[in-house]
Structure 1
Amino acid sequence: MAKENEEKSAKYKIALIINEYSKGGDYRPLINEELYRQLDGFQKETGHVVAVSFTRSKAHIQKAVTSLQREGFNFLIICGGDGTINDVLQHVAEGTVIVPIPGGNANDFSRRLNIFHWRDTLQIIKNIVEGSVNIIGMDVGEISFHGKDGAPMSRRFINNCGVGVTADTVRRVEGLVDKAYLTNGFLSLMLSKAIGLTYYSSILRRNIFMKCLGFEMLLCSRVGRYANFAPYKHENDGTIHFIIFKDLSYYKRLMLMMLLSFGTRLVSSGFVEYFHGHTARPEIKDSNTFGLNLRGVKSIWGMLHEKSLLHVDGNLVNEFSETVQGDCRVKILPKFIKTVAPC
């Protein structure tokens, strides 16, 4: 038994990464004395030493994660929101275990895992170390594009990635403590100008051009508290769902805003194109004009005709908007990270 516990202890090397500026620096109520006492008890009980790294910027996160992984840390506890998790995601090796402590505004990734408090996280860590909970691989998305100098670039995402109107919402709330996504999303929807999008339909075997307000690529069904963009997306099923917001009149944009929480009505409203992995769903067939089937497709190619904003998990990617992106590709990195199976 002692040898078995020793093997379990040797399996994981754990680090806690704390974003001090998450939610405008409002992380402090989460990381309090009680948590440190619990962590101390966990270390004594299991024999695991938990390294702690405080970060304040993307560059600092990059250095912290790179250094920790070089030293063999393969289990990262991340205190912050989806943006912090995304910053970490850019630099982790495949197979790294990631468990969040929800410390942001939306906390979409934490919610997908049914983690709502640091106590949930601590219990999960104990269960993982003891081997009493299932560990699963989690799909990660990756968008590839080019910098203004033509150099290839890419960004990973764990929840969602958006171009145009949704990225403009992120731009409006960036740096705010109270993000007010609903208000700023309304402003972005009403004020956004249409952009040209060309993508390749593998079914029609030709390029499709359309004017739209933007589009969102999703690995989860719901974004934040309001937006149910991919109602037919099954968790971690190896597919990315796309929703394209059509170029609409102001009246229809208002109607679209009212439907954001009602996913099944949204995707059949005629205000959007919903590309999905389902080939025989009559209730959503009409929402996919071009019959673009995403199941089994390794990557999707597209090009934009104007400079546009991009966000990944709520982080703006400034390099994307510096030039017109004429060659973009989105793909899935299957089961790239590991985490706890939601229960």
Structure 2
Amino acid sequence: MVKRARIIYNPSSGRETLKPKLVDILNVLENGGYETSTFATTPKPHSARDEATRVAKDGFDLVVAAGGDGTINDVINGIAPLEKRPKIGIIPAGTTNDFARALGIPRDDFVEAAKVMIDGKLTPMDVGKAYNDTETEYFINIAAGGRLTELTYGVPADLKTIFGYMAYMLKAVEMLPSSHPVEINAKYDGGEYNGKALMFFLAMTNSVGGLEQLVPDASLNDGNFTMIIVKTGNVFEVLQLITKALNGGRHVDDNRIVYKKTKHFSVEPQDDTKMPINLDGEFGGVAPMKFDNLKEHIQIFANLNLKEKADQE
């Protein structure tokens, strides 16, 4: 039986350099045994999500998410709720490409990234589920809460295209002085936190905002989130924590954060302050919110040998 693949791509990703490479990407997958077709996302909300659901239900063997972390998140959301889920491939064409970095997928060559789906390993991956009384969303790299986490979807698309990763850094510098801790109740496996928090993270890989030392012990498929709650809102103390993270992950033992492993997490503000939730760099609603780790929920092509080599260098 012929294997079928569908490339769902964002035509505006990668400074619009992805589209000219589609023929070469198609050739890689066709030579690898896949009858391959493409779908260009549209401005319609959840265009990639709807297409991923459609082709998954139609029995496609492989769905390729070609774009930034937002496109990947949309594809995952189209597939994660289904009982029968196709294999996933990634062609990173965004600004930070955190998820591709964690999987060892080449981020500077679209064709080489496509070859991972032929030469790489099929790896079981955890998927995060975020839900409350009104909505359910899925994520595969990170969930976060707090005003400062808005920066990933608060940067205009044209600035991301022109300035890339630097646009995020400029936005963070702008937002940090006006970001204040929120009184929260957070529950996790074996514990509870009641107090002020500037932000929280639930990481599923070791690449968060391009920082690989923020969650140095994260695993792709152990069924656990790596949870970080940042208690302090003092600008200088936050910068100290970032410096510690960049210098060998020394922040994990700092008493200004809570650092734990957990399969489940819930967060609820204790006043009228709204806490926005960020899922894989996209707006994911507001707290209160619950989170579950769905262990090894999807199969994804990765090049972990390449990542291990990069980590050793």
TM-score normalized with structure 2 length: 0.83
Distance change (3 Å), C-alpha of 1:209 and 1:103:
same
Partner of 2:93: 103
Which one has the largest radius of gyration? 1
The structural deviation recorded for 1:209 is 1.1
The residue type equivalent to 2:37 in the other structure is A
The CA RMSD over aligned residues, in Å, is 2.4
Q: How does 1:1-343 map to 2 (within 5 A)?
A: 10=2, 12-23=3-14, 26-27=15-16, 29-32=17-20, 35-37=22-24, 39-40=26-27, 42-43=29-30, 45=31, 48-57=34-43, 58-92=45-79, 93=82, 95-116=85-106, 117-127=109-119, 133-146=120-133, 151=134, 153-175=135-157, 176-177=159-160, 178-179=164-165, 180-200=167-187, 202-203=189-190, 207-226=192-211, 228-262=213-247, 264-276=249-261, 294=262, 297=263, 299-305=264-270, 306-317=273-284, 320-321=285-286, 325-326=287-288, 328-341=289-302, 342-343=304-305
Cα deviation, residue 267, structure 1: 1.9
Q: Name structure 2 gaps, 5 residues minimum.
A: 306-313
- Conservation of the 8 A alpha-carbon contact between 2:126 and 2:140: yes
In structure 1, give the amino acid aligned to 2:87: V
Partners of 2:64 and 2:4 lie apart in 1 by 11
Deviations 1:158-179 (A, max 9, x none): 1101000442222432433235
Q: 1:31 to 1:274 in 2, by over 3 A?
A: same
What CA deviation, in whole Å up to 9, does each residue of 1:117-156 have, x standing for no partner?
A: 22223322333xxxxx53221101111123xxxx3x1111
Q: How many residues align?
A: 291
2:90–2:114: 8 Å Cα contact kept in structure 1? no
Deviation at 1:220, TM superposition (A): 1.1
CA shift for structure 1 position 202: 4.9
How far apart in 1 are the matches of 2:8 and 2:224?
Answer: 29
Tell me the SS of whatever aligns to 2:48: helix
Partners of 1:187 and 1:226 lie apart in 2 by 19
Runs of 4+ in 1 over 4 A off after TM superposition: none
The one-letter amino acid of 1:312's match is: L
- How far apart are 1:239 and its partner, in Å? 1.0
Q: Residue 254 and residue 126 in structure 1: after superposition, are their counterparts in 2 closer, same or farther (change >3 A)?
A: closer
Residues in 1 aligned to 2:28 and 2:254: alpha-carbon distance in whole angstroms: 54
TM-score after normalising by structure 1 = 0.76
Question: Is the 2:266–2:290 contact (alpha carbons within 8 Å) kept by the matching residues of 1?
Answer: yes
Alpha-carbon offset, residue 87 of structure 1: 0.9
Partner residue of 1:286? Answer: none
- 1:111 Cα offset (Å): 1.3
Q: Which runs of 5+ in 1 are unaligned?
A: 1-6, 128-132, 277-293
Q: 1:87 to 1:46 in 2, by over 3 A?
A: closer
The 3-state SS of whatever aligns with 2:23 is helix
